Amino acid sequence: MFDVFFDYRGLFIEGLLVTLQLNAIVVVLSVAGGALIGVARHYGGKIVRVVLGIPVDILRSIPLLVVLIWVFFASPMVFGTRYIDPFVAAVIGLSLTQGAYISEIVRGGLASVRSTQTRAGLALGMTRTQVVTRVVAPQALIRMLPPIGSQVAIGIKDSTLASVIAVPELFRQSQIVIGDSMQPFVVLTTLMVFYFVLVMIVVRLIDMLYTRVAARGAS
């Protein structure tokens, strides 16, 4: 019954590697970009907050499926080319959308540290920058861990949508195998187990990290 995985191992291994690679890149880009945008929106004053809020709100309002298809089929016209690599398109679409959500988590985390903590830092003769790096950011970071963990989990699951623009990730490869082998039950069920295990590992790791530092974020 599980012969199918051996028979099509080449496709599955490629799919697995692409899925892991895609998600690793998206996590790094979306967390870095989201942090940058979130920090800028929190500390950048009104104009920065409003201007950077526009793309964030747009990305949070458009279905990811539409974003991915737009990046793959439509964005090349904007940049005057005819083709964009599906993997690159998936990285861009997923990172933009994930980054938008993460920027809101970062902004909320920074805002959640009450302003009297900033006053306490200033009263100790710290500069504004020192207050942010020594007092506000560490506390905000701890509080951001659980929601960022959830968002990364959503990102991993949503990465299957990249199959519609022919990224050879695990779900796409599985569909190919199903079409050829006529064994949808075993392939799809195994796929579910695989995503369950992958997401649980990520979520539990972040939870464990959070539990260790949670007391330090309470205030």
Does position 120 interact with another protein (CB under 8 A)? The reply is: yes
Half-sphere exposure of 78 (CA within 13 A, CB side): 7
Residue 212 C-beta: closest distance to another protein, Å: 12
Does position 119 interact with another protein (CB under 8 A)? The reply is: yes
Residue linked to tokens 């899925």: 19
Stretch 130-149 residues interacting with another protein (CB under 8 A): 130, 134-135, 138-139, 142
Out of 21, 127, 189, 211, the residue judged to bind another protein by CB under 8 A: 127
Residue 138 CA to residue 130 CA, distance in Å, equals: 12
Quote the tokens at residue 213.
């530092």
- Nearest C-alpha neighbor of 114 from the set 189, 218, 196, 8: 218
Residue 173 C-beta: closest distance to another protein, Å: 44
Size of the site for another protein (CB under 8 A): 23
Residue linked to tokens 């530092």: 213
Residue 36 CA to residue 110 CA, distance in Å, equals: 12
Does position 211 interact with another protein (CB under 8 A)? The reply is: no
The stretch among 34-42, 68-76, 118-126, 168-176 that binds another protein (CB under 8 A) is 118-126
CA angle, 51 then 53 then 56, to 5°:
130
Which residues would be at the binding site for another protein (CB under 8 A)? 116-117, 119-127, 130, 134-135, 138-139, 142, 213, 215-219
